[in-house]
Amino acid sequence: MKNIANKLSNEEYEKNFAELRPPLTKNSAVAEANRCLYCYDSPCMKACPTHIDVSTFIKKIATDNLLGSARTIFKSNWVPLTCAKACPVEELCEGACVYVEKGEKPIEIGRLQRFVIEDYFNSDMLQLFTQENKNGKSVGVIGSGPSGLACGAELSLLGYDVKIYEANEIPGGLNTWGIAPYKLRRADSLKEVEYIKNLGVEISTGVRVGDTISFEEICNKHDAVFVGIGLGDATRLKVPGEELTGVVDALDFIEKVKNEKWVDVNVGKRVAVIGAGNTSIDVVTEAKRLGAEQVYIIYRRGIDDMSAYDFEYELAKSDEVIFHFKTMPKKIIGEKFVEGIECVKIELGERNEKGKREINVVPNSEFILPVDMVIKAVGQNINNNFLNDVEGIKIENGKVVVDTETYQTGNNKVFAGGDCINGGKEVVNAAYDGKIAAQGIDKYLENE
């Protein structure tokens, strides 16, 4: 990079990456729990993709039964600390709280869940569940993200031997490698991984299926297989200059940030991020917190078309991010290093059959933004090549096709869940998929 942003002091980095939602004290947790109306129809529970019995776990906080509360949470969700800290609660449980309808502050469900799970992880971690006797069957799980972890935990309790094969050296999937550190630190993700290992799940890291070991070998070794491989690398922009030094993939950048050695992460003085999804917002906010002086989001559609949530948009605005809506990159400028990005303005036309508005380039609207770094955040490619020729497995629009009730693929022995079947949602969806797929696997193997 030609112009690297000045490094900050350790104190400044720690302040910039401090948690957005700090923990509750015991007194404030009990007081908050006592505000819960224990609604007869629990809209919060319905809004949670894992259907945690929210009002019950909250009631147990109010009666000082924290172990019982933890049990209620884990029963539905095997990665509850990550979800407590990183779920878009405004869109899910807290957004559905009846207090919102009354125009009042919703119950802080995320922070209450965090209070319970942190209390549990900081305790002797008494066994919360009875594990069924070993049934002599084994399941291979590919990927240790939330879907793989949830599937493994559930199957282990049901008496299966579970082995997770993970390509990375450090397990946890995007919980460990992707979620912004001001929401979730790596140590939190690894606590959940340890907990699941303590349930008897084996995790073999540094093993890439389709490379280190073939998918066929995994299928031969186990009675059933769960595929929870998430998505792959960032999608290419396909504009000239993409190969210049200073053009990076969002996930590569985020991975470096997640190492939490902020001083080692080089960021440009002026940074352009392409795309306006939640990943783009994470990247601009992270770049700003690392010391970038000016950060831009370049997005070819309008504000209403952004897939980023409103609260993420507000966060970026509070970090003084400049948004260029209806703008598209045409060329990245520079000889060896990025020196600028040439953009063109867009006029949006009619909506097509997918509901997306047509993109029309405004003639002679080119302009140049001088930048030192371009971060690509326009989506992720699919990473399931090793499944291409597997009998019965169907891949549509890059997503592995599964039965919506059992998560079984067209190959009876193979199940799948998480981002690789939904194209990229949230941790809580992956956690749910993994659990339900485990139940599908159990049913299938019972009948075998």
Element (H, E) at 224: strand 224-227
CB of 259 to ligand FAD, least distance (A): 14
284 is an interface residue for ligand FAD by CB under 6 A: no
Element (H, E) at 174: helix 174-177
In the set 7, 51, 186, 425, which binds ligand FAD (CB under 6 A)? 425
Q: Which residues of 227-245 are buried (b: 16+ CB within 10 A; e: fewer)?
A: bbbbbbebbebebebeebe
Of 89 and 328, the one with the shorter C-beta distance to ligand FAD is 89
275 is an interface residue for ligand FAD by CB under 6 A: no
Binding residues for ligand FAD, total number by CB under 6 A: 37
* Residue 394 near residue 409 (C-beta atoms within 8 A): yes
Beta-sheet strands, E only, within 58-128 = none
Of 309 and 337, the one with the shorter C-beta distance to ligand FAD is 309
CB of 69 to ligand FAD, least distance (A): 21
110 is an interface residue for ligand FAD by CB under 6 A: no
The DSSP annotation for 399-437 comes to EEP--TTT-B-SSTTEEE-THHHHSS--HHHHHHHHHHH
CB of 321 to ligand FAD, least distance (A): 16
279 is an interface residue for ligand FAD by CB under 6 A: yes
Using alpha carbons only, give the angle 234, 435, 156 rounded to the nearest 5 degrees.
115
Element (H, E) at 161: strand 161-166
Of 186 and 331, the one with the shorter C-beta distance to ligand FAD is 186
Of 34 and 205, the one with the shorter C-beta distance to ligand FAD is 205
The tokens describing 68, both together, are 């019982």
Of 271 and 343, the one with the shorter C-beta distance to ligand FAD is 271
436 is an interface residue for ligand FAD by CB under 6 A: no
Of 248 and 333, the one with the shorter C-beta distance to ligand FAD is 248
In the set 173, 246, 291, 329, which binds ligand FAD (CB under 6 A)? 173
Which residues lie below 8 Å from residue 102, measured CB to CB, with a gap of 6+? none
Angle between helical axes of 146-157 and 186-198 (0-180°, round to 10): 20
What whole-number distance in Å separates Cα of residue 170 and Cα of residue 344?
41
In a 10 Å sphere around its CB, with 0-12 CB exposed, 13-18 middle and 19+ buried, how is residue 15 labelled?
Answer: exposed
Stretch that binds ligand FAD, among 34-42, 202-210, 344-352, 366-374 (CB under 6 A): 202-210
Of 173 and 268, the one with the shorter C-beta distance to ligand FAD is 173
CB of 333 to ligand FAD, least distance (A): 27
166 is an interface residue for ligand FAD by CB under 6 A: yes
The DSSP annotation for 132-155 comes to PPP-S-EEEEE--SHHHHHHHHHH
208 is an interface residue for ligand FAD by CB under 6 A: yes
179 is an interface residue for ligand FAD by CB under 6 A: yes
Instruction: List Cα–Cα distances, 113 to 22, 32, 53, 82, 217, in angstroms.
Output: 13, 12, 11, 10, 40
Stretch that binds ligand FAD, among 24-32, 65-73, 222-230, 401-409 (CB under 6 A): 222-230
426 is an interface residue for ligand FAD by CB under 6 A: yes
229 is an interface residue for ligand FAD by CB under 6 A: yes
Among residues 377, 380, 9, 319, which one has the least CA distance to residue 182?
319
In the set 49, 80, 110, 178, which binds ligand FAD (CB under 6 A)? 178
Please name the amino acid found at residue 67.
L
Of 106 and 417, the one with the shorter C-beta distance to ligand FAD is 417
Which residues lie below 8 Å from residue 171, measured CB to CB, with a gap of 6+? 144, 164, 190, 193, 203, 205
Q: Which of residues 63-92 bind ligand FAD (CB under 6 A)?
A: 86-87
In the set 2, 183, 197, 331, which binds ligand FAD (CB under 6 A)? 183
In the set 42, 50, 55, 147, which binds ligand FAD (CB under 6 A)? 147
CA 256 to chain centre: 16
Q: Which of residues 287-306 bind ligand FAD (CB under 6 A)?
A: none
Q: Rounded to the nearest 5°, which phi and psi values hold at 447? A: -85, -10
Q: Would you tell me which residues interact with ligand FAD (CB under 6 A)?
A: 86-87, 142-148, 165-168, 173-174, 178-179, 183, 208-210, 228-230, 254, 278-279, 282, 383, 418-420, 425-428, 430
